[in-house]
Structure formats: C-alpha cells, structure tokens
Amino acid sequence: MSGNISPTPESPPSSARAIVVVGATSAVAQAAIRRWAAQGKTLALVGRAGAALQRVAADARVRGASAVTTHAGDLGDIAFIDSLSTTVAPNVALIAHGSLTDSARAEASSEYLDYELALNFVSAAQWMQRLALACERTGGGTVIAISSVAGDRGRGSNHAYGAAKAGLTAFCSGLRARMATRGVHVMTVKPGFIDSPMTAHVNPKGALWATPETIADGILKAIDRQRDVVYLPGFWALVMLVIKHIPERIFKKLKF
C-alpha cells in the first residue's frame, strides 16, 4: 500500500452488470453481499420495503461496493418481478428469500399455508425464471436459488416448508437443463440448519448448525466452480443420502 492514498474502486461504466440479490435482508444474503461488496462489485438489492433494505445497502456501500441500488416491493407480486427483471442487467442473481413455515399453524390455517407455499415456491420459481432470462439477454451468467435440505424429503415437522423447497429444487433442476446451452448456469444451494434470525427460537443449537457466513463462503466458492447442486456445509450430502433411503414405513413414524 502506498502512503495515505485510499484505493477506492474506480466508478464503473454505466453499463456494468450487477449482482442481483432477491431477499437481500436475509442472513445468508447479507453475508454474501458483504463478500461481494468487499470485492467492489455492483449490487442490485431487492427486498420488502422498509429500513432493513436501506441498512443492508448502506453497509454494502461502506464496505466497498462500487454501486448499490435498492428495489423495494412485494416479492410475490408478478408485476414487480416482471418489471424489475426487464430493467436489471445481471451476471449473477441470488434468490435468497424465504420463510420457515410453522407446520402447526399451516395445519390450522389454509390462508397461512397458501401464503407460505406461494412465497417459498411460487415466487422463488418466478424470480428464477425471469432472472435466468435476464441473464441470457445480457450475455449469460449464474442464477442461484437457496433451496434447502428440507426439500429432499418431507418431514412431519416441516411438511409445508419441505414441499415448497422440493418444488423449488425440481424447478431449478429443470431450468438448469433448459438454460444449459444458453449460457446461463443454474445452481441449487441446499443449506442445512443455519443459525440466523429465522431460527432464533431454536435453542440450544448443536454441531449441525452453521453460520450464515459459512454458507455465504460456500456459495461464492460454488459459483467459482460452477457447481450444479451444492449441499452446505458438505456433510449434509451424506446425511440426506441416508435420510432419503429410509423406507417410508419407518420414516413416517420418526419424530423429527
């Protein structure tokens, strides 16, 4: 480093392609945004309206992002998804929003179940589809969905969440095949338990729990390596292999 001159990144040309993050206020998204900001990337942050999105944007600016735009709206609103997807020029898109469905409440309220399925599956699939096309239009890129190990098999304790994530995993798998020859790489990330505000009610947390920072490191590494499906941390691939092979007759009686 030379003297007191601070190496602020040069301002990018206005046509610079952005990293689009949907659900930018989620813990994993924030951790990933910090890493991209430190690399001086251009970021387009999408989330629900409110102070939280501005907070994440301010943090990214201080940490060195060369440009940060925020786009507030209802993440399930098709008009919002369509209009945003036609205006951004992404080379990377991360779809990170979601809600951990309360299975007991989903059993009691059909409105709640409908809302959760729509948020975790329908809106995520819509974003993936539109942003994959936006990537193709602007010259290719990587689109990443944060699915979950819960999507590998429906469990009694989170059947609604698991089903929505299973749908998203299948959607990504098909989308990957559709886009494979069109210059767009589709990646499915399946994290295990994450110690985040989404799971603040779970205490104590055992050895299976990972921090959002660990997951974000894994996502950035997986993008570099152009992985298709990645379990984070990696040991979940093994755990889920076992869980997927438990016969249904036994599985239905397991309490977890």
Partner 1 sequence: MKPLSLDQPWGRGFRVTHAHAFADGAHLPAANFLPRGLGRSYGDLCVNDGGTLLHAFRRDALLSFDDCNGVLTCESGATLADIAQVMLPRGWFLPVVPGTRYVTVGGAVANDVHGKNHHVAGTFGAFVDSFTLARSDRSTPLRVTPGDPFFATTVAGLGLSGLMLDATLRLKRVSGPGIEQEIRLFGGPRGGGIDSYLELDAESKPWEYTVGWIDTLDRSLRGVFFRGRHCDGPDEWLAPRPARLTMPIDAPQWVLGRWSAKSFNTLYYRLHATKTAQRSVVPIWPFFFPLDAVNAWNRAYGRRGFIQYQFVVPTAAARETVPRIITHLREAGVASYLAVIKTFGDVPSPGLMSFPMAGTTVALDIPAPDERDRRALDRADAMVADVGGRVYPAKDARMSPAMFQRFYPRWRELEAARDPAISSSFWRRVTVAVHKKGPQP
- Residues of this chain that interact with partner 1 (CB under 8 A) are 1-8, 27, 38, 51, 55-56, 58-59, 62-64, 195, 197, 200, 203, 211
Q: Please, which residue, 23 or 167, has the CB nearer to partner 1?
A: 23
DSSP 45-62: EEE-SSHHHHHHHHHHHH
- Is cis: bond before 233, omega within 30 of 0? yes
Shortest reach from residue 2's CB to partner 1, in Å: 8
Both tokens of 43, joined, read 């970021």
Q: Which residue number, 66 or 173, has a Cβ lying nearer to partner 1?
A: 66
State the nearest-atom distance from the C-beta of 88 to partner 1, in Å: 24
> Are the beta carbons of 198 and 100 closer than 8 angstroms?
yes
Cβ-based burial of 209 (10 A; exposed 0-12, middle 13-18, buried ≥19): middle
Per the CB < 8 A criterion, the answer to whether 154 and 166 are in contact is yes
Q: Which residue number, 2 or 110, has a Cβ lying nearer to partner 1? A: 2
Smallest distance, Å, CB 21 to partner 1?
Answer: 15
Residue 186's beta-bridge partner residues? 143
Neighbours of 227 (CB within 10 A): 18
Instruction: Tell me the C-alpha distance between 65 and 32, whole Å.
Output: 12
**Considering the complex, what minimum distance in angstroms separates the CB of residue 66 from partner 1?**
14
- The minimum distance between CB 4 and partner 1, in angstroms, equals 5
> Is 31 or 113 the residue whose CB approaches partner 1 more closely?
31
Beta bridge partners of 36: none
Q: Which is nearer to partner 1, 49 or 241 (CB)?
A: 49
Q: Shortest distance, CB of residue 222 to partner 1, whole angstroms?
A: 20
Cα separation, 42 vs 11, whole angstroms: 10
Q: 5 or 250: whose CB is closer to partner 1?
A: 5
